[in-house]
Amino acid sequence: MKNCGIVFLFFGLICMSVKAQEKYIHPKSEFLVNQTVMLFGNDVKLRKEPNTTSKTLQLLPILSKLTVLERTNMTFLYEGIESPWYKVKTTNNEEGYVVGGLLALDSKTVDNWTYLEQLKLKEEKWFAILRAMHGNSSEYIEITDKLANSMFSLKTYSNKRLEAIKNMIYIDYMAEACGEEGGGVYFFNNGVSLIKAVEVSYVFNADVYWLKETITFPNEQGGSIGKIVFSREEGETFNNDILHEKKTIKTKEFIWEGKELKLATSQE
């Protein structure tokens, strides 16, 4: 059992090392001085002072790049969060103030699409707000989804040879403790809307129990043309003297029909 613990610790440290290089979003995320950020809101008023009654210096479109100059002590309740006002500078060197909730916590690009993310707090539950824009357009598509874990990173991918979609964005949860929910959620972009497509779980409880769900897309090793392969591995170890392991793996193939996954006909 001790050897098992060492093995799991070794792989756990590798995983943590890789994830430590990613940018993680969480409820206490803040913007740093001199950080370049993208505007999450559209037609946002750049204010002369950090309040909603001061003079509007200009209207800023979504995707505007701003440089953070200062985090003030003034806040504004936005999407259920007491968000601080930030002093920022535009690309034409005009300085003013913007509420932090109108700045993107992270941005990703793929296939000439830009994705922006912010948070929302409602009834003590955290939600992710995702927006996607094509090219330099100020028109965006949006989805809001309740988070299973309030610490996560974002990843974007091509359509992975799923012809019905443009591309996809993945919320990758970080499980900081044993038994905490990991895994993530895939959202598909069909060009007119973002659709919550697939959820996967990853739960690891020391060297006693684990659950790992994975998705294999058509362009990946083990993939199938036009299909999404869903695998669920569940296992446990037992016996204090001699290590025993029990593991089960279940695999199913699905097709994407535009709004949801449907079990492939041969498995129905």
pLDDT in tens, 64-75: 999 999 999 999
What average pLDDT does range 130-145 have in this prediction?
97
- Comparing C-alpha atoms, which of 58, 55, 54, 34 is closest to residue 45? 58
Strand, helix or coil for residue 4: helix
Taking CA atoms, 73 is separated from 9, 85, 149, in Å, by 42, 7, 28
Query: Does residue 228 contact residue 260 with C-beta atoms inside 8 Å?
Result: no
CA atoms within 13 A on the CB side of 103: 26
Which of 31-45, 131-145, 210-224, 244-258 is predicted with the least confidence, judged by mean pLDDT?
244-258
CATH fold of 30-104: SH3 type barrels. (2.30.30)
Domain boundaries, the chain: 1-12+21-27+105-268, 30-104
- At 8 the pLDDT is 41
Whether pLDDT at 86 is above 70: yes
Q: Confidence band (pLDDT; 50, 70, 90) for 239? A: low
Average pLDDT of the chain, as a whole number: 89
Taking CA atoms, 169 is separated from 54, 75, 159, 219, in Å, by 37, 31, 10, 16
Whether pLDDT at 190 is above 50: yes
